[in-house]
Structure 1
Amino acid sequence: MNTPADAPSVPRHGARETHDRERLARRMVPGLLAIAATLAYGLLGSQQFRNLIARSWDLGIFTQLARAYGELRAPIVPIKGDEVNLLGDHFHPLLVLLAPVWWAWPSGEALLWVQALLFGLSAIPLTRLAIDRLGPRLGCLAGAAYVFSFGLQAAASVQFHEIAFAVPLLALSLTALLRDRHLASVLWAAPLVFVKEDLGLTVALLGVLIALRHRSHRGAGIALTGWGAGWFVLSTFVILPLLNTAGQYDYTDNLGSPLEVFWPPMKWLTVLMLLLAAGLIGGRSPLIALMLPTLAWRFTGTVEFYWDWYWHYNAVLMPIAMAAMLDALGDRRTGRATAWWRRDAPLPVRRIRVTAVAASAAVTLLLGSAMPVLDVVRPSRWEPTWRAEHATAALEAVPDDSVLAVDITLMAPAVPEHDVQWLHGPNERVPDCVLSDHYAFSWGGDPPQDPAIWAQQQWAAEFRTDFEGGGFTVVCQP
């Protein structure tokens, strides 16, 4: 028979076991999620690269930029046009970090793995925070819902963009803010202005939130606001026009009337998906306002890709959605109430947290088989395309270091060995060779019957056919 002194031993032992499980989950799960996401997104990239899947010319553009930085040159990218400095297209000097990557692995495939790694790493701070605030089970589920969210999966599917560097920086900054480490939050947010010019507005707004919510750190918030706003103005209205071959900011023409912000309905679907990613309850957190600068330029834009959920533009919003949800759900350890919590009316807190995390996961799960990362586990997707050998032969038919005009299909693979420009680009240089793809979407379904004749008409020079097979044709000057 237990004595009164012995009675408390069971709950103490149970509490210790619970604590040990939580500590193990906190140590292991974030890293495992990071590894899983890195492998999934990296393998998806390799699968696409080797099966000649090119969503756009962007991978070729950034591969050419990485090569320029790797060769310690200015980021001149002839794919965009003769003597085009990509720092005059978008302001992303942080991409100079790709130089060591190029030294180790000079291939566009390497950029896909870099993006995968950056997405994976972003899960570590956010998942640890989720475990601390929600407990190991809900926290692990929230971390998984984040790192395989629709925004990150879509970005991985459409291949590399500069925003990959913004995702872990936002995750680290917002996690530090929710842990009341304000200086760390400011320092992690500051480099975002060097990822893309519009992120200066996001940084500025984060500074405003810090100044308003944390009066003891008002100075740091004001400084961050000035830093973000200053770099936005400087990069958009001074640096980009200065480095642009046309002396302008190229994307002003893509902006429409503010009256069109709320139409078509596709925009509302995107907003709903973002709110679901934030567990709906995240809409009550002030942090959700950090989405507004990105959504503002996207929804006033006239390009349909800006509005949709399926492109890379939502990737930078995923850390914001996760942080906003964790902010709104409060902290189970302290019982700290948040804005939506009425102190005079107890709420089924556990049920609310479960519902929020479930909503965050459901927005991706409901898309089911449409999610691109599932291609990694589909054996048929790993079968080599019948065109692979022809593509290799076509590239080998082009002499090294040639000025090569190429279709989007083989643009990125051609960059390491050639001076590449787009076959349909504005370049004035006459290429040494032209590599066309009969099946490329850039032809609009009407490819030329004889690429050699087409090239002669295009550049007023003589070309002969050196290779033909698999839909690829290589024509070079004699």
Structure 2
Amino acid sequence: MTPAPAPPAGSRLPARLPTVPLPWGWAAALFTLYATVAVRRHLLLRTTGYDLGIFEQAVRAYAHLRPPLAPLRGEDFNLLGDHFHPALAVLAPLYRLWPSPLCLLVAQSALLALAVVPLCAWALTALGRRAAHAVALVYGASWGIASAAAFDFHEVALAVPLLSCAATALGRRRWRAAVAWAAPLVLVKEDLGLTLAAVGAVIAWQGPRRLGAVTAACGVLASAVEVRVLLPALHPAGGYAHGANLAEGAHTSLLTTVAFAPLDALRPDIKAMTLILVFAPSALLALRSPIALLTVPTLAWRMLSQNGFHWGTSFHYSAVLMPVVVAALIDALRPWHTPGAPPAAVRHVRASLAVALAVTLVLVPSFPLAQLAQRATWRTTAHAEAARALLARIPDGATVAASNRLVPQLTSRCEVVLFPAFPVDARLYRYDRDRLPRPTAEWIVHDRHAPEAWPYRTGHWPYPAEQQAAELAAAQRSYGYRRVAERDGITLLRRTGPTGTGRGGP
């Protein structure tokens, strides 16, 4: 055998660049995409006190080894009494190093992007390289993930990679690994214990029955303890803060509520549309896999809720469903991709993935990832510049009452409440002028222009613009505040004297 000729003296062979594994390459690309959307929205004042500001106050408290009190929700309000999410504490070390709302937005982007790794890796081995690219794009561009990536920060971001790993382990028949990945869900949010129970049900159906039964029982027990014991103990007013969402509603008894539940889950029409859209990125093929059962607990409480926000496709509520749906798609197609499969089976897999991709891409313009193609996303507005200039006049450590969209611009360095302050109870979105407390913050900063209206809400939430203007005038007339500056619809007030008598409050 003739040896290969040696390279000429003094020449260098080109170094072979290390290749990035396909799943991690997709994770990096999606992280860049999600983080860009989230950061640009924050810089344009499109993030809000409800919810980014609230979660930042909680994580900031964890970072300083304090209970997660959130002044935006009320005085000495422990956020663990609202939803049970002690897993948020894992972000505290990162926040201590980078105390900024951008820390939470970037962390959420990373968590949502990481969920593609197990899905893409499984698709690579089960369906092939081209299919893995398709699966990664279906997950990455799915409307549920896009809606979460562009709507502040929420604790469920921690659940998305856990569910991705758990669903993938179920599909690969790695039962104990599935339980290990799903178990921490009970520390992310109180309803996710029921998702753990669904993992147990799938295991009992397809794998070791004892392991599945124990897992299901532990999941139900965890949610019951959190809802019945822990949340009421930690809530300032006692009870489960969101119990009213699952009240009997128009029905007169629990029996009639249960009897009408199947119809109520489809009325009004927006519920049926959401149910279809949840499985649409899989071309509805996910419904052929037992893994799809993991979506049942989340869909059940949302469709039976009395809160209309839970029924639609906006906000973060569908993020936990997307990795499950994509894993179920892989599981449904896997039996068709086997060595020596007939041409018809190969065509079936290709056609199915093509339809899934087409549906996903058709939906993209209707959801927030499309903002990257809009010029307004890349232009810093005069309004945002005015806001930053006025907010810079507020010293660190000050107490501030701020408009909803100005809150997260301050929560990293000030003690912030929402302007105008209001009592927090189960009727969060009702206006009750007579119970508004007297302002006591050192500063008030009010923005009468909403940079962007929320879906289903006005940009001036929680009160109509004219009522907020009345509160601003009352602060200057009766409560000892003077106008420090005003620019582009943003008013900065500072308290210079006693709060006066005015109408009462705490």
Band the TM-score falls in, shorter-chain normalisation = 0.7 to 0.9
Instruction: Find the counterpart in structure 2 of residue 299 from structure 1.
Output: 303
Partner of 1:437: 447
Q: What is the alpha-carbon root mean square deviation over aligned residues?
A: 2.2
2:194 to 181, 195, 201: 201
Alignment partner of 1:396 is 2:392: yes
1:117 matches 2:121 = no
Q: SS of the residue aligned with 1:421?
A: strand
Counterpart of 2:242 in structure 1 is: 251
Question: What is aligned with 1:417?
Answer: 413
**Mapping of 1:51-450 within 5 angstroms?**
51-54=44-47, 57-214=50-207, 217-255=208-246, 256=249, 257=257, 258=261, 259-331=263-335, 334=338, 348-426=344-422, 430-440=440-450, 441-442=460-461, 443-446=463-466, 448-449=468-469
- Show CA shifts across 1:61-100 (max 9, x none): 1111111111111000010111110000000000001101
Deviation of the 1:273 alpha carbon: 1.3
Aligned CA distance change for structure 1 residues 137 and 448 (closer, same or farther; 3 Å): closer
Residue 110 and residue 187 in structure 1: after superposition, are their counterparts in 2 closer, same or farther (change >3 A)? Answer: same
Output the amino acid matched with 2:193: G
Given the alignment of the two structures, is residue 472 of structure 1 paired with residue 502 of structure 2, yes or no?
no
In the TM superposition, what is the alpha-carbon distance from 1:247 to its structure 2 partner? 0.2
Distance 1:280 1:462, change over 3 A: same
The amino acid across from 2:312 in the alignment is D
Structure 1, unaligned runs of 5 or more: 1-23, 338-345
**AA matched with 1:406:** A
Contact 1:47 1:376 (C-alpha < 8 Å) held by counterparts:
no
What percent of counterpart residues are identical?
36
Return the alpha-carbon distance in structure 2 between the equivalents of residues 433 and 73 of structure 1: 25
- Tell me which amino acid in the other structure corresponds to 1:260: D
- Structure 1 residues 425-468: Cα deviation after superposition (integer angstroms, max 9, x where no partner): 336572111111111422424265576533257xx621111121
Name the counterpart of 2:480: 462
Equivalent AA in structure 2 for residue 102 of structure 1: Y
* Partner deviation per Cα, 1:85-142 (whole Å, 9 max, x = no partner): 0000000000001101211211111111111101111001101111211111122111
Question: Secondary structure, in 3 states, of the residue corresponding to 2:405?
Answer: helix
Matching residue's letter, 1:221: G
The alpha carbon displacement at 1:368 in A equals 4.2
1-side partners of 2:364 and 2:228: how far apart?
43
Name the SS for the 2:483 alignment partner. strand
Q: Please give the secondary structure, in 2, of the residue aligned with 1:434.
A: strand
Partner amino acid for 1:283?
L
Q: 1:158 to 1:262 in 2, by over 3 A?
A: same
Aligned residue pairs: how many? 442
Q: Could you state the TM-score of these two structures normalised by the residue count of structure 2?
A: 0.83
- 3-state DSSP of counterpart to 1:415: coil
Q: Does 1:46 pair with 2:66?
A: no
Change in 2 beyond 3 A, CA 1:451/1:281 = closer
Note the C-alpha offset of 1:212.
1.8
Partner Cα distance (1:179, 1:296) in 2: 26
Q: State the alpha-carbon separation in 2 of the partners of residues 178 and 283 from structure 1.
A: 14
- Deviating more after overlay: 71-80 vs 395-404: 395-404
> Which stretch shifts more, 419-428 or 307-316?
419-428
Partner Cα distance (2:201, 2:405) in 1 = 44
CA contact (8 A) 1:397 1:467 kept: no
SS of match in other structure, 2:400: strand
Q: Distance in 1 between matches of 2:314 and 2:470?
A: 36
- TM-score (normalizing by structure 1): 0.87
Contact 1:87 1:240 in 2 (8 A): yes
